[in-house]
Structure 1
């Protein structure tokens, strides 16, 4: 049987390896998280846009720093940054003493949206913890934070 918002039937999860399990669960929680935000806000923000916003929250990185440290193509990053600017979520400024480089930061609206989304994600994490157990969630987070020494 396929559960609500489930990508594949629960019975099929039993046959997946670690990589595919991580991928399935990641896709599922990202989809639920994006839907929760878009159901309560007039400002549609994609998962890729959230990913970029997370990298700049409370910082003023350069756009080149973002392109080097985000696993999205350079061209797509520029497209997402421009969309975020059009929505009034980020502002792009010149870097002092550097005519070519630009830096990016969240606007007050961008910070407000980011913080509201963090709250929605905490609610989702809480729902997961209620279902599988708070200790299990803590253990899972601890395991994911470990240095796996893989490259």
Structure 2
């Protein structure tokens, strides 16, 4: 076994790679797209794509406060990407839904991420990419 690998911290490696990929994806979108969308906003868009969750439901699925989710939703609404409506089940809660523009932006971003994935496959090989995905999706026995 390579002793250099033993000295590397897995959590930091995953975190650094994740941040690098997110920054590349955000930069690519903002260079090609007409609407600036931050990584945090993409995170919220991903949670509401093809759904209509409440702000409370989104908050439970992300590591952000309710206030932060609400602020991001308002920002996305001002950009025309998200519609905010009253919840049918709770008058105090709001539901989030992508607008047609929001769906279009989200799906274009999916294509940009696929291109990034293809670039990675060119470097580590298709088999390496599939092996990486397999390892990331496998059960690591974590609680």
TM-score by length of 2: 0.92
Any unmatched runs of 5+ in structure 2? none
Residues 63-82 of structure 1 deviation map (CA, whole Å, 9 limit, x = unaligned):
10001111122221111111
**Residues 106/13 of structure 1: CA separation in 2 closer, same or farther (3 Å cut):** farther
Partner Cα separation in structure 2 for residue 22 and residue 107 of structure 1: 33
Task: State whether structure 2 residue 16 is matched by structure 1 residue 24.
Answer: yes
Task: State whether structure 2 residue 125 is matched by structure 1 residue 144.
Answer: no
**Residues 142/72 of structure 1: CA separation in 2 closer, same or farther (3 Å cut):** same
**Number of residues of Structure 1 aligned to a counterpart in Structure 2:** 140
- For residues 12-51 of structure 1, the aligned pairs below 5 Å read 15-51=7-43
Q: Which runs of 4+ in 1 moved over 2 A?
A: 12-16
TM-score by length of 1: 0.87
Task: State whether structure 2 residue 100 is matched by structure 1 residue 76.
Answer: no
Task: State whether structure 2 residue 115 is matched by structure 1 residue 115.
Answer: no
Give the root-mean-square deviation of aligned CA atoms.
1.6
Q: Any conservation in 2 of the 1:13–1:21 contact (CA below 8 Å)? A: no
Any unmatched runs of 5+ in structure 1? 1-11
